DNA sequence: TTGTATGCGTTATCAG
DNA sequence: CTGATAACGCATACAA
């Protein structure tokens, strides 16, 4: 039960393939009789043009690629939903890949997508990625590119990010205003752009309120599950913070687990705040205040810019950077 | 800066395309000198074969497709990770699509994937899908298919699911053994296969312990966010359950929120249990006992079966159904 | 209005 | 050992 082709239709109707092709795509220069004939037969036989043949010919696919570190992460899965919301409306399929924080996987995924002629690419860099020549390469090949969230300064492309500085500033300030002085900042690997922006926001808030920055209160950790545990225990044990400001879903949860496991006394009121898109923050005890990154919005914006670039065949080297504001949700425990 | 082709290499080296092609794929019948020449030049020019041309010729893509209702769902994203773990090792790319619980989207995704000649398809049906003729169609076309978790009785294919009956039975029994009598079961739409299996397990446990089944304690709800709220409030208000057994991450969280919002007194000890892959169950108050569906394992198993089918060119109409055991984690609050 | 020929990138077949 | 040719499915410039 192989798929039917234009050639089959042509043979069955005693026409040439070109006539059939033209009839199918509704060319003017064609007899309405034969046109109807072809259309009906195609319908009856459930004909669909072979997208691969089309891509080979036209060098495009009506699909855009998305590469994220992990989909098992609220931020990224919501961002993807934002991307799909606009892409699907405009007739593009969204092909999703994960790099699993691996540079090698990121490379392999890009090769696959570009090889299959995606019309554009949205990417959030893996934690391992420092060299971005693979992205520059696809830009040279003319593939429209938008980098979101995990961006890099090395690459000149359109970028969409949350306003990490502002979010971190507000989060830290709220902790200060609630009376904290020793605010631990448990965050992502230091080479990530988002990490440095958040650190800046954290520092700025401290400075504004005359609190000296203490680098011992800042801890970076990678993506290995064991690592966070250790790092968090260490800062809790040695630095005795009175509040914790975390940089991701996972770090927030790991911090909770650590505090509970060690039965450490951190005053409850507004003591925890995290960059997180967790749906459960208000159900935790104490409730977790959040700096919500507008993931859906970020994805949507990134996709809009990408599609704009694709459809207007703009230069792939545009360098707009859009910052989407974050939203702080303060939650105080009722005890 | 267009991608380089075999033809370019042939021209540059004054060879024929066929010679270049053979050299590239290491054919025996070839002069080792020219072979080296070609290989070096290809390397230098960063040649990569065009996958689209290959697919057109070979009717395959070295990629498998995955369609799930939502990736912003721990179960599905973990299942996808299981799929990727095996597929990537065997040299297949995994192309991920979401149906967003829409039959129409599911259809569109399948058409895209099959049209692009994925070598096989893994699917978890959308909540809207009752008619499965689109799946039968791709089976007729010879595309290997494995259905996981959201399966359907209508379709004859390899299937992989969690042992929902067993999990529900154990969960319910634990609630009974801790002294509950009025156990609300808040669950997914009734037409899902998993829903009916869980209901059977729930009933079986009640029966074993001589508790009459009360259909008023069972509530089904769809995927719209508002719906769950209403349904849960209703059963809480009217039926006064002393325990709640939910069927998904989201339903568990919504139930928590409802109970907290209404300040309803449900005795804490082992009162909540849910089919869920939430990472935070132990941090909730009271802690949420869980029936963990081995999502990663399910994905892995499904992918293994699919790749087996693909590589042995077995009949697509195999009808093995694999049940993966669930694991119950009881958590009692310390208060 | 329709048919013929060509090309997209690759490999298999058949000659040389 | 190497080269010419056809084929995968489609669209289009050119011929008729």
How far apart CA B62 and CA B118 sit, in angstroms, is 7
Alpha carbon A85 to its chain's center: 14
DSSP-based three-state secondary structure for B96: strand
Q: What is the mean pLDDT of residues A77-106?
A: 95
- Inter-chain contact A77–B95, Cβ cutoff 8 Å? no
Q: B-chain residues within 8 Å CB-CB of A115?
A: 48, 50-52
CATH of B58-162+295-325, picked from 3.40.50.2300, 2.40.110.10, 3.40.1280.10, 3.40.50.880, is 3.40.50.2300
pLDDT at A315: 57
| CA angle, A294 then A300 then A303, to 5° | 140
Q: Is the pLDDT of residue A134 over 50?
A: yes
Q: What is the mean pLDDT of residues A167-174?
A: 95
- In tens, the pLDDT along B283-315 reads 887 888 999 999 999 999 999 999 999 988 655
Q: A-chain residues within 8 Å CB-CB of B80?
A: 71-72, 98
- In tens, the pLDDT along A20-43 reads 999 998 776 677 888 888 999 999
CA A267, A270, A275, A277: dihedral to nearest 10 degrees?
Answer: 110
- Inter-chain contact A280–B278, Cβ cutoff 8 Å? yes
pLDDT at A335: 43
CA A9, A11, A12, A14: dihedral to nearest 10 degrees?
Answer: 110
pLDDT at B334: 53
- In tens, the pLDDT along B18-32 reads 999 999 987 776 788
Is residue A132 a contact partner of residue A155, using CB atoms and an 8 Å limit? yes
Most A CBs within 10 A among B95, B260, B277, hence the mutation to make, goes to B95
Query: Residue B335 — very low, low, confident or very high, per pLDDT cuts 50/70/90?
Result: very low
Between A3, A112, A141, which is nearest B141 by CB?
A3
Q: How far is A333 from chain B (nearest CA, A)?
A: 12
Please tell me whether the peptide bond between B286 and the residue prior to it is cis, using omega within 30 degrees of 0. Answer: yes
Between B71, B93, B111, which is nearest A80 by CB?
B71
- Taking residue B161's Cβ as centre, other Cβ atoms within 10 Å add up to 22
**Residue B178: burial class (beta carbons within 10 Å; 0-12, 13-18, 19+):** middle
Most A CBs within 10 A among B62, B63, B248, B283, hence the mutation to make, goes to B283
Q: What is the mean pLDDT of residues B158-182?
A: 94
Q: Is the pLDDT of residue A131 over 80?
A: yes
Q: Give the pair of three-digit tokens for residue B143.
A: 């595309």
- Answer whether B58-162+295-325 and B164-293+328-334 agree in fold: yes
Query: Tell me, in Å, how far CA of B42 is from C1' of C16?
Result: 27
- Taking residue B181's Cβ as centre, other Cβ atoms within 10 Å add up to 14
Query: Tell me, in Å, how far CA of B53 is from C1' of C14?
Result: 22
Q: Is the pLDDT of residue A321 over 80?
A: yes
- Inter-chain contact A80–B97, Cβ cutoff 8 Å? no
Q: What is the mean pLDDT of residues B263-285?
A: 79
Between B1, B81, B98, which is nearest A72 by CB?
B81
Q: A-chain residues within 8 Å CB-CB of B279?
A: 253
Which range, of A1-10, A114-123, B172-181, averages the lowest pLDDT?
A1-10
Residue nearest to nucleotide C13 (CA to C1'): B18
- Inter-chain contact B52–A256, Cβ cutoff 8 Å? no
Q: Is the pLDDT of residue B317 over 70?
A: no
Nucleotides of C under 7 A from a protein CB: 1-5, 7-13
Q: What are phi and psi of A296, to 5 degrees?
A: -60, -45
Contacts 24+ apart (CB under 8 A), A284-288: A284/A256, A284/B280, A284/B283, A284/B284, A284/B285, A285/A333, A285/B283, A285/B284, A285/B285, A286/A333, A286/A335, A287/A331, A287/A332, A287/A333, A288/A252, A288/A256, A288/A331
By DSSP bridging, strand A183-187 and strand A218-220 are parallel
Quick one: which of B297, B294, B310 has its CA closest to B90? Answer: B310
pLDDT at A197: 95
- Inter-chain contact B97–A93, Cβ cutoff 8 Å? yes
**CATH no. for A164-293+328-334:** 3.40.50.2300
DSSP-assigned letter for residue A28? S
- Mean residue pLDDT across chain A: 90
What is Dmax (Cα atoms) for chain B?
Answer: 86
Alpha carbon A97 to its chain's center: 11
Q: Where are the alpha helices (DSSP H) in chain B?
A: 6-13, 17-24, 32-44, 51-58, 74-89, 103-115, 133-140, 164-177, 193-208, 225-239, 249-262, 295-311
Rg, Å, chain B Cα set? 26
pLDDT at A272: 82
- In tens, the pLDDT along A209-249 reads 999 999 999 999 998 888 888 899 999 889 989 999 999 98
pLDDT at A49: 93
Residue of B nearest to A253 (CA): B280
Count of residues in chain B: 335
pLDDT at B270: 58
- Inter-chain contact B142–A285, Cβ cutoff 8 Å? no
How far apart CA B263 and CA A111 sit, in angstroms, is 54
- In tens, the pLDDT along B1-19 reads 578 999 999 999 999 999 9
Q: Is the pLDDT of residue A202 over 90?
A: yes
Which range, of A65-74, A283-292, B72-81, averages the lowest pLDDT?
A283-292
- Inter-chain contact A96–B96, Cβ cutoff 8 Å? yes
DSSP-based three-state secondary structure for B64: strand
Q: B-chain residues within 8 Å CB-CB of A81?
A: 72, 98
C-alpha distances out from residue B23 to A305, B34, B82, Å: 43, 8, 37
In chain A, domain spans: 6-48, 58-162+295-325, 164-293+328-334
- In tens, the pLDDT along A247-261 reads 998 999 988 888 888
Token pair 């990727």: residue: B84
Q: Please tell me whether the overall predicted TM-score, pTM, comes out greater than 0.85 for this model.
A: yes
């Amino acid at each position: 039960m192989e798929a039917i082709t234009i050639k089959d239709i042509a043979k069955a109707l005693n026409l040439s393939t070109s006539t059939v092709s033209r009839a199918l795509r509704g060319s003017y220069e064609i007899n309405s009789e034969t046109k109807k004939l072809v259309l009906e037969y195609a319908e009856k036989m459930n004909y669909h043009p072979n997208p691969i043949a089309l891509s080979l010919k036209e060098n495009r696919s009506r699909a855009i690629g998305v590469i994220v570190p992990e989909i098992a992460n609220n931020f990224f899965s919501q961002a993807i939903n934002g991307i799909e919301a606009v892409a699907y409306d405009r007739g593009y399929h969204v092909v999703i890949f994960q790099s699993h924080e691996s540079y090698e996987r990121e490379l392999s995924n890009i090769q696959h997508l570009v090889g299959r002629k995606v019309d554009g690419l949205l990417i959030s860099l893996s934690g391992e990625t420092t060299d971005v020549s693979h992205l520059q390469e696809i830009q040279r090949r003319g593939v429209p590119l938008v980098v979101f969230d995990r961006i890099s300064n090395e690459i000149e492309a359109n970028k969409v990010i949350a306003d990490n500085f502002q979010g971190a500033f507000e989060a830290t300030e709220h902790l200060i205003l609630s009376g904290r002085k020793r605010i631990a900042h448990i965050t992502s690997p230091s080479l990530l752009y988002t990490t440095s922006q958040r650190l800046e926001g954290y520092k700025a808030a401290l400075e504004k309120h005359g609190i000296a920055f203490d680098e011992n209160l800042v801890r970076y950790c990678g993506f290995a599950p064991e690592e966070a545990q250790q790092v968090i225990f260490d800062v809790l044990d040695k630095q005795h913070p009175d509040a914790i400001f975390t940089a991701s879903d996972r770090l927030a949860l790991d911090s909770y687990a650590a505090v509970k496991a060690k039965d450490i006394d951190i005053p409850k009121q507004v003591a925890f705040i995290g960059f997180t898109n967790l749906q459960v923050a208000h159900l935790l005890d104490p409730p977790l205040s959040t700096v919500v990154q507008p993931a859906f919005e970020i994805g949507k914006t990134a996709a809009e810019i990408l599609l704009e670039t694709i459809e207007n065949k703009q230069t792939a080297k545009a360098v707009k950077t859009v910052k989407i504001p974050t939203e702080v949700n303060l939650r105080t425990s009722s005890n």
